[in-house]
């Protein structure tokens, strides 16, 4: 029986372990933290439950596919709830906009902003759908190791692949693309926001990523009853059922290489051998810490990080939906601060997730559990989080109070702050980035770490810093690519 060691029990590590175990490999996971889940994690305190990382599930079919592959029904593990509205958007002039998968409802909201943009929305979504479908059969289906092959092989598929690639590529930024479609500055801002779904800037990310809105408006936005942490919990259960051994609280120190092949891992004084080593630790950090190899990926710009405030409040805010965005007045200045100056934006857009709006298990009666997230720069010496964190927290709470959450400060009965320093420390994320490598720049999508290591045999990378990128569905797809490649090579 062939064996595999997976380093890390983030979603990518758990998913690849399930797939390999289902295919008959003996799989062991070593996770440095006590809890599995990595960036999808949880805090429970004072009767409140909080997801500390991801809060939105998209492309649910990718998660379903994992359960199906393992001959299981997702319904036996998770209760998925579709959200309507998907998200409530607030602007400082008092405008409120509910985005819904029910397109008539969304069009009614758009009509209020600018009637001309209703037809633009339909055209935009149709373009987004086409982009998504191309990405689904190319970029999201193949590991980077295979992509050059499909694009340079002059077989019957070549012209189709080339056509696809040209349709998908764009020299235009997402912001320029959105400005071409929508005359309302508010709609441009709303659709620009989708760049943050992989931790990037709409002013630098190519228009290819205009496919993301289709993922929400076309395929739906989902919550998991009990909290998003139910996903890693259920995958750990599935993995155990399939015979995977999970050791938590165990940090891998080194990947052992012999004759250019990965043959095992070292943990303290002990070493453990396996036929395949799969790193779910941040791929850039895997090179740096576990292989001791400096390489070009270290120079790639990380995605943004996040500043998180978890609040248990003894009050309800009926104006909140499950997902809420309080936009800044100057989106460009905000992204310039985050990515160009790597500083804190002084008028940030604030995301508030209140799962208590949908799920009574999340907070005591008549209370809310607020997960507040502001995009923040990846770690540099420009921000001293220990010093600036408290002031930034106050600025954010004040802005929320000014935006209509009156009495927020005085109703807080539980509070926890998570800074980029915590993301770096807790999950070994490269400079605290929360989506791996950023997608800023035209070719960035093709410059992530390939799933099969090019330098060492039998070594693979799964997770947000590897292909195809960060976010729950993409990380699950990277697990599929790794498992498929291993089995193909066997």
- Which H or E run contains 20? helix 11-22
Determine, following the binding rule CB under 6 A, whether residue 56 of this chain makes contact with ligand FAD. yes
Name the residue among 232, 248, 229, 234 with its Cα closest to residue 28. Answer: 248
Query: What distances in angstroms separate CA 454 from CA 65, 139, 287, 429, 449, one per listed residue?
Result: 28, 19, 12, 22, 9
Q: Say if CB 455 and CB 255 are below 8 A apart.
A: no
Q: Say if CB 227 and CB 355 are below 8 A apart.
A: yes
Name the residue among 453, 421, 470 with its Cα closest to residue 293. Answer: 453
**Per the structure block, which two tokens stand in for 269?**
């004084």
Binding residue (CB under 6 A) for ligand FAD from 246, 350, 400, 475: 475
For ligand FAD, give the closer residue by CB, 125 or 228.
228
Name the residue among 197, 188, 192 with its Cα closest to residue 56. Answer: 197
- Which H or E run contains 181? helix 174-181
Determine, following the binding rule CB under 6 A, whether residue 9 of this chain makes contact with ligand FAD. yes
Q: Say if CB 334 and CB 394 are below 8 A apart.
A: no
For ligand FAD, give the closer residue by CB, 29 or 120.
29
Q: Say if CB 399 and CB 391 are below 8 A apart.
A: no
- Considering the complex, what minimum distance in angstroms separates the CB of residue 218 from ligand FAD? 16
Determine, following the binding rule CB under 6 A, whether residue 480 of this chain makes contact with ligand FAD. no
Binding residue (CB under 6 A) for ligand FAD from 400, 434, 437, 482: 434
Determine, following the binding rule CB under 6 A, whether residue 200 of this chain makes contact with ligand FAD. no
Determine, following the binding rule CB under 6 A, whether residue 321 of this chain makes contact with ligand FAD. no
Q: Which stretch binds ligand FAD (CB under 6 A): 139-147, 311-319, 324-332, 420-428?
A: 420-428
- Considering the complex, what minimum distance in angstroms separates the CB of residue 167 from ligand FAD? 25
Query: What distances in angstroms separate CA 380 from CA 41, 302, 398, one per listed residue?
Result: 25, 11, 26
- Three-state DSSP class for 165? helix
Q: Say if CB 126 and CB 141 are below 8 A apart.
A: no
Q: Helix, strand, coil proportions of the chain in percent (round to 5)? A: 40, 20, 40
Binding residue (CB under 6 A) for ligand FAD from 170, 427, 433, 438: 427
Binding residue (CB under 6 A) for ligand FAD from 40, 215, 262, 379: 40
Binding residue (CB under 6 A) for ligand FAD from 48, 89, 139, 435: 435
- Considering the complex, what minimum distance in angstroms separates the CB of residue 113 from ligand FAD? 25
Number of residues counted as binding ligand FAD (CB under 6 A): 37
Determine, following the binding rule CB under 6 A, whether residue 458 of this chain makes contact with ligand FAD. no
Residue 440 has phi, psi (to 5 degrees) of -65, 135
Determine, following the binding rule CB under 6 A, whether residue 5 of this chain makes contact with ligand FAD. no
Binding mask 261-300 for ligand FAD (x = CB under 6 A): -------------------xxx------------------
- Considering the complex, what minimum distance in angstroms separates the CB of residue 176 from ligand FAD? 25
**Per the structure block, which two tokens stand in for 90?**
């607030």
For ligand FAD, give the closer residue by CB, 120 or 449.
449
Q: Which stretch binds ligand FAD (CB under 6 A): 2-10, 60-68, 89-97, 121-129?
A: 2-10
Binding residue (CB under 6 A) for ligand FAD from 6, 10, 147, 414: 10
Q: Binding to ligand FAD (CB under 6 A): which residues in 117-136?
A: none
Determine, following the binding rule CB under 6 A, whether residue 54 of this chain makes contact with ligand FAD. yes
For ligand FAD, give the closer residue by CB, 10 or 113.
10
Q: How far apart are CA 239 and CA 16, in angstroms?
A: 9
Partners of 142 in the β-ladder: none
Binding residue (CB under 6 A) for ligand FAD from 5, 20, 30, 277: 30
Binding residue (CB under 6 A) for ligand FAD from 4, 252, 370, 395: 252
Q: Which stretch binds ligand FAD (CB under 6 A): 49-57, 125-133, 325-333, 393-401?
A: 49-57
For ligand FAD, give the closer residue by CB, 263 or 429.
429
Q: Say if CB 199 and CB 470 are below 8 A apart.
A: yes
- Considering the complex, what minimum distance in angstroms separates the CB of residue 32 from ligand FAD? 4
**Per the structure block, which two tokens stand in for 377?**
């720069």
**Per the structure block, which two tokens stand in for 169?**
């590529």
Q: How far apart are CA 55 and CA 40, in angstroms?
A: 8
Determine, following the binding rule CB under 6 A, whether residue 432 of this chain makes contact with ligand FAD. no
Q: Give exposure, 333-342, as e/b (b: 16+ Cβ within 10 Å).
A: ebbebbbeeb
Binding residue (CB under 6 A) for ligand FAD from 373, 376, 397, 483: 373
Name the residue among 42, 434, 443 with its Cα closest to residue 232. Answer: 42
For ligand FAD, give the closer residue by CB, 173 or 478.
478
Name the residue among 475, 438, 451 with its Cα closest to residue 147. Answer: 451
- Considering the complex, what minimum distance in angstroms separates the CB of residue 231 from ligand FAD? 9
Residues that bind ligand FAD (CB under 6 A): 7-13, 30-33, 38-40, 53-56, 251-252, 280-282, 306, 308, 373, 423, 427-428, 434-435, 463-464, 470-472, 475
């Amino acid at each position: 029986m062939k064996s595999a060691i997976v380093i890390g029990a983030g979603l990518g590590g758990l998913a690849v372990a399930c797939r390999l175990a289902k295919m008959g490999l003996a799989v062991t996971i070593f996770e440095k933290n006590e809890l599995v889940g990595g960036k999808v994690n949880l805090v429970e305190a004072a009767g409140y439950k909080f997801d500390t990382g991801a809060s939105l599930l998209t492309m649910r079919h990718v998660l379903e596919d994992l359960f199906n592959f393992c001959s299981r029904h997702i319904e036996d593990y998770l209760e998925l709830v579709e959200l309507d509205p998907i998200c409530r958007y607030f602007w400082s002039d008092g405008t409120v906009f509910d985005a819904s998968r029910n397109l008539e409802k969304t069009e009614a909201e758009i009509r209020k902003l600018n009637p001309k943009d209703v037809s633009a929305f339909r055209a935009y979504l149709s373009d987004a759908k086409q982009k998504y479908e191309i990405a689904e059969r190319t970029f999201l289906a193949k590991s980077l190791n295979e992509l050059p092959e499909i694009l340079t092989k002059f077989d019957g598929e070549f012209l189709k692949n080339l056509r696809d690639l040209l349709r998908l590529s764009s020299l235009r930024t997402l912001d320029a693309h959105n400005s071409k479609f929508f005359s309302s500055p508010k709609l441009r801002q709303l659709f620009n926001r989708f760049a943050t779904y992989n931790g990037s800037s709409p002013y630098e990310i190519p228009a290819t990523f205009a496919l993301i809105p289709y993922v929400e408006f076309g395929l739906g936005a989902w919550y998991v009853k009990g909290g998003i942490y139910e996903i890693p919990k259920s995958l750990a259960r599935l993995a155990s059922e399939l015979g995977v051994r999970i050791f938590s609280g165990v940090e891998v120190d080194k990947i052992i290489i012999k004759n250019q092949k990965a043959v095992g891992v070292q943990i303290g004084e002990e070493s453990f051998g396996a036929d395949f080593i799969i790193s779910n630790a941040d791929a850039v950090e895997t090179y740096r810490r576990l292989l001791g190899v400096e390489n070009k990926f270290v120079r790639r710009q990380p995605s943004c990080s996040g500043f998180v405030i978890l609040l248990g409040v003894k009050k309800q805010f009926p104006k909140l939906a499950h997902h809420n965005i309080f936009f800044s007045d100057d989106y460009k200045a905000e992204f310039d601060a985050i990515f160009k100056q790597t500083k804190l934006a002084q008028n940030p857009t604030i995301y508030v997730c209140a799962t208590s709006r949908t799920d009574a298990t999340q907070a005591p009666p008549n209370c809310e559990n607020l997960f507040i997230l502001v995009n923040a720069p990846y770690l540099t010496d420009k921000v001293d989080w220990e010093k600036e964190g408290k002031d930034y927290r106050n600025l954010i709470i004040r802005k929320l109070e000014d935006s209509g959450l009156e009495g927020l400060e005085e109703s807080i009965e539980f509070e926890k702050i998570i800074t980029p320093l915590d993301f770096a420390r807790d999950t070994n994320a490269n400079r605290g980035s929360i989506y791996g490598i950023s997608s800023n720049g035209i070719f960035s999508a093709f410059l992530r770490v390939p799933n099969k290591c090019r330098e060492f045999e039998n070594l693979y990378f799964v997770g947000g810093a590897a292909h195809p990128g960060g976010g729950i569905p993409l990380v699950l797809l990277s697990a599929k690519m790794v498992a498929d490649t291993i089995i193909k090579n066997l």
